[in-house]
Amino acid sequence: QVQLVESGGGVVQPGRSLRLSCAASGFSFSTYGMYWVRQTPGKGLEWVAVIWYDGSNDNYPDSVKGRFTISRDNSKSMLYLQMNSLRAEDTAVYYCVRDKDVSFDYWGQGTHVTVSS
Amino acid sequence: QSALTQPPSASGSPGQSVTISCTGTSSDVGGYNYVSWYQQHPDKAPKLIIYEVNNRPSGVPDRFSGSKSGNTASLTVSGLQAEDEADYYCCSYGGSNNLNNLRVFGGGTKLTVL
pLDDT in tens, B28-60: 999 999 999 999 999 999 999 999 999 999 999
B29 touches chain A (CB under 8 A): no
pLDDT in tens, B58-113: 999 999 999 999 999 999 999 999 999 999 999 999 988 887 889 999 999 999 99
- For residue A106, give how far its alpha carbon lies from the nearest alpha carbon of chain B (Å): 7
The Cα angle at residue B94 between residues A59 and A26, in degrees rounded to 5: 60
**Strand pairing partners for A47?**
A37
Per-residue pLDDT of chain A (117 residues; tens, 9 = 90+): 999 999 999 999 999 999 999 999 999 999 999 999 999 987 889 999 999 999 999 999 999 999 999 999 999 999 999 999 999 999 999 999 999 989 999 999 999 999 999
A-chain residue closest to B37, CA distance: A103
- Closest CB from B48, B55, B107 relative to A44: B107
Note the pLDDT of residue A43.
80
Cβ atoms < 10 Å from Cβ of A62: 9
Residue contact A103–B52, C-beta within 8 A: yes
Size of interface A-B (CB pairs under 8 A): 59
- Closest CB from B46, B55, B57 relative to A107: B46
Q: Rg of chain B over CA atoms, in angstroms?
A: 13
**Spatial CB neighbours of B105, under 8 Å, sequence gap ≥ 6:** A44, A45, A46, B2, B3, B4, B89, B90, B91
CA B54/CA B19 separation, integer angstroms: 14
Best B48, B50, B58, B91 residue to mutate vs chain A (most A CBs within 10 Å): B48
